[in-house]
Amino acid sequence: MRLHLLLLLALCGAGTTAAELSYSLRGNWSICNGNGSLELPGAVPGCVHSALFQQGLIQDSYYRFNDLNYRWVSLDNWTYSKEFKIPFEISKWQKVNLILEGVDTVSKILFNEVTIGETDNMFNRYEQCSFSWDWGPSFPTQGIWKDVRIEAYNICHLNYFTFSPIYDKSAQEWNLEIESTFDVVSSKPVGGQVIVAIPKLQTQQTYSIELQPGKRIVELFVNISKNITVETWWPHGHGNQTGYNMTVLFELDGGLNIEKSAKVYFRTVELIEEPIKGSPGLSFYFKINGFPIFLKGSNWIPADSFQDRVTSELLRLLLQSVVDANMNTLRVWGGGIYEQDEFYELCDELGIMVWQDFMFACALYPTDQGFLDSVTAEVAYQIKRLKSHPSIIIWSGNNENEEALMMNWYHISFTDRPIYIKDYVTLYVKNIRELVLAGDKSRPFITSSPTNGAETVAEGWVSQNPNSNYFGDVHFYDYISDCWNWKVFPKARFASEYGYQSWPSFSTLEKVSSTEDWSFNSKFSLHRQHHEGGNKQMLYQAGLHFKLPQSTDPLRTFKDTIYLTQVMQAQCVKTETEFYRRSRSEIVDQQGHTMGALYWQLNDIWQAPSWASLEYGGKWKMLHYFAQNFFAPLLPVGFENENTFYIYGVSDLHSDYSMTLTVRVHTWSSLEPVCSHVTEHFVMKGGEAVCLYEEPVSELLRRCGNCTRESCVVSFYLSADHGLLSPTNYHFLSSPKEAVGLCKAQITAIISQQGDIFVFDLETSAVAPFVWLDVGSIPGRFSDNGFLMTEKTRTILFYPWEPTSKNELEQSFHVTSLTDIY
């Protein structure tokens, strides 16, 4: 790609006393392909695909097979050109810079026909997922995907401004380290003072500085009086996200004033790796502000193949859905992009902790000097840009590269392995790790994910088994074993990737497909599935516990199959996540103390089958509704072991509460429970998972009117005297496909409106598993969905994301339960 800028005229405007000026080159550019046969206007920021679409030269890139049809776009060379006039006289400025915040990716930059630069790294200031993974399309984009402008200045210019709050344990006080990088173009030293003010902390400090000509760094150390109460930033569900407005004013010689404003948050983060009684290995968990926190959440991928489509509104919608599902963490996965500033600002605001990978994934990277120089610039820039965000709690060097190397994914000969290990250590330890240690002392660093943490370090930076249950984090996928059997899951210290696939809803697929595509075995369905064997794996896993759709109507069968894949995915991830959550406080067979569960993946990049819980555009799959419950701060978890039924209580709360546990048994054939049991009061300790209830299944069945496994289902919930209530959870005593007495449920809804919220009053004629409420393409979410309906009536709320009406909802509303496909 080429960037061709032509300066027509430097206008001589009126004299100015400004110390610096900025002239934006955003907006309309001209785009031309390699041989000049195609020329069109295009927006900057933007990319070639978006420009072609906006001019009507291509369809929606996501429609049907257009990821194949439009490969020519990525295979061609493109030139971006702009002719412009600078509205100031260049000769009056000591320094004039052309700033390109983001170029995708390999380009040559010409200014007035003179080559002034080249780029080869889109993660630097001037995507890997653009080339497809098993959940996304291949759209290697080209374009100017971030801001471009001309900056002119005299005396000096502030290039970077960053800061880190640091807690001094010995003095028990907060300090703030501020780092500012200047380009001093004056031939003489520039003196002045800096005033740092944080009004709500009654802090104002003044510093004298003198900047010598050249590139200069100013480091300031701000002490916050220990007599001032500093409110700390907490993750979602654990406290407030308190921040303080700060201004930093540089008053310099020549009447030059430079002011920066920022929000400052105070929090500490520790990665605890220490021996555990009764278990070999080390713990792996995070303390925020000294409090151990179980990390609950998912893995984030780019929200679109085309970054110019990722709006502020979309980011807020997706991240709000994170906290609405009781999550507190996202892992920004190393095969995507470093997200835009607004993403991290929203995470700060919403209390979402971020596990930040550097952008290296599933590959063996070179270590020649040119590549290392590029990586050094990339990593140093991203650390400066991001380290002031309290949401980021850890840096990770890469995604799965330690495991790929040591498990020999790429079939390296044994004799060559030392060479690759040396390259690995050079890149991630001697390069990236050293940059992190030098640039950011406020959060931990690990070389990879998965990794054994401290054990990996002890083994020379690569472990023989990086996926060990006794150290660090694990990635776990198993599509063959029965996902309802909790014994197949690793009782690891921290699960940072796991999951199962499902298809997105029909209303999402309908927008990018045609009628001939609407079957599970269509050419479209096979092409859209990028995970080898994925469609068969979904049906296999679903068939273990559910009857597969048998309708004679092909469209009905397709819709029912989509529904069933979402049921399967939600139930599988529920079972696995609840296993991790109940393992936080126990050691069984020397394994346990699990302190994190981040399923793969949160969001979709296009409309296709994937592991995501949010469809492309943000619609909640059944899994995301389930996450709202299985990530609840207070949760009862039921499971069987050796024909005994157990219920654990799991609490993420900071306090102890007096509670009771209610256990009910229903038959599939009746909306009235056959028995109900309420325990005596007990104290549920905060931050623990403990066994609250156990009973042989045979005794439970006998006690409840001679139930059988096939005829009955168990539900249970926790409640406290002051009104604190857990979600109602359930346990199937047999596979639903073996259920006795389950009959077709007739479910009706009366819709009413209360302000901006809509109320769905449901009524059912029979017990209904996995009740799914759908309003098609109307944007919004329900208060609950995919639930087991054991009562005759239930009220569900609908929160629209855009203005809608009762009439529109009534026309679009459809309800499905498992009984509809049996």
* CB contact at 8 A, 165 and 267: yes
Q: What are the structure tokens assigned to 206, written together?
A: 């003044």
Q: CB count, 10 Å around CB of 179?
A: 17
Look at the block and give the residue holding tokens 């009507």: 56
Q: Which pair of tokens denotes residue 500?
A: 């199962």
SS3 686: coil
Helix (H) or strand (E) holding 538: helix 534-543
Amino acid type, 306: F
Work out the end-to-end distance of the chain between its first and last CA atoms, rounded to an integer number of angstroms: 56
Q: Of 546, 571, 686, whose CA–CA distance to 621 is shortest?
A: 571
Q: Which amino acid is at 93?
A: W
> How many helices, marked H, and strands, marked E, lie in the chain?
17, 46
**Residues contacting 626, CB < 8 A, separation 6+:** 570, 571, 573, 574, 786
CA 290, 296, 302 angle in degrees (round to 5)?
115
Q: Which residue has the tokens 């024909």?
A: 643
Active-site pick, 378, 400, 576, 578: 400
The partner residues of 592 in beta bridges, in order of sequence, read 587
Which token pair is 592?
């346990």
Bridge partners (DSSP) of residue 328 are: none
Mark whether 400 is an active-site residue: yes
What does the alpha-carbon distance between residue 622 and residue 625 come to, in Å, rounded to a whole number? 5
80 bridge partner residues: 3, 31
Residue ranges of alpha helices (H) inside 146-288 are: none
**What pairs with residue 747 in β-bridges?**
764
Rounded (5°) CA angle 284-287-288? 145
Q: Which pair of tokens denotes residue 410? A: 């790429």
What type of residue is 554? P
Cα–Cα distance between 786 and 784 in angstroms, integer?
7
Is the separation of the CB atoms in 451 and 472 below 8 Å? yes
Q: Is the peptide bond before 87 cis (omega within 30 degrees of 0)?
A: no
- What amino acid occupies position 346? L
If we measure between CA atoms, which residue out of 765, 749, 759 comes closest to residue 811? 749
Residue found by looking up tokens 């085309």 in the block: 306
Burial of 255: CB neighbours in 10 Å, binned 0-12, 13-18, 19+: exposed
Using DSSP bridges, classify how beta strands 353-357 and 392-396 pair: parallel, antiparallel or unpaired. parallel
Separation between Cα atoms, residue 518 and residue 526, nearest integer Å: 11
Q: Could you give the CA distance from residue 377 to residue 241 in angstroms, rounded to a whole number?
A: 32
How far is the C-alpha of 573 from the C-alpha of 599, rounded, in Å? 8
Q: Is 251 annotated as catalytic?
A: no
Annotated catalytic residue within 127, 339, 455, 497: 497
Looking at the DSSP bridge assignments, the partners of residue 286 are 271, 293
Which pairs count as long-range contacts for 747-755, CB under 8 Å and 24+ apart, including other chains? 747/771, 747/789, 747/815, 747/817, 749/773, 749/813, 749/815, 751/806, 751/809, 751/810, 751/813, 752/806, 753/806
Q: Name beta bridge partners: 743.
A: none
User: Rounded distance, CA 343 to CA 314, Å?
Assistant: 10
Backbone angles phi, psi at 680, to 5 degrees: -70, 165
SS (H, E, C) 328-392: CEEEECCCCCCCCHHHHHHHHHHCCEEEEECCCECCCCCCCHHHHHHHHHHHHHHHHHHCCCCCE
Give the active site residues. 400, 497
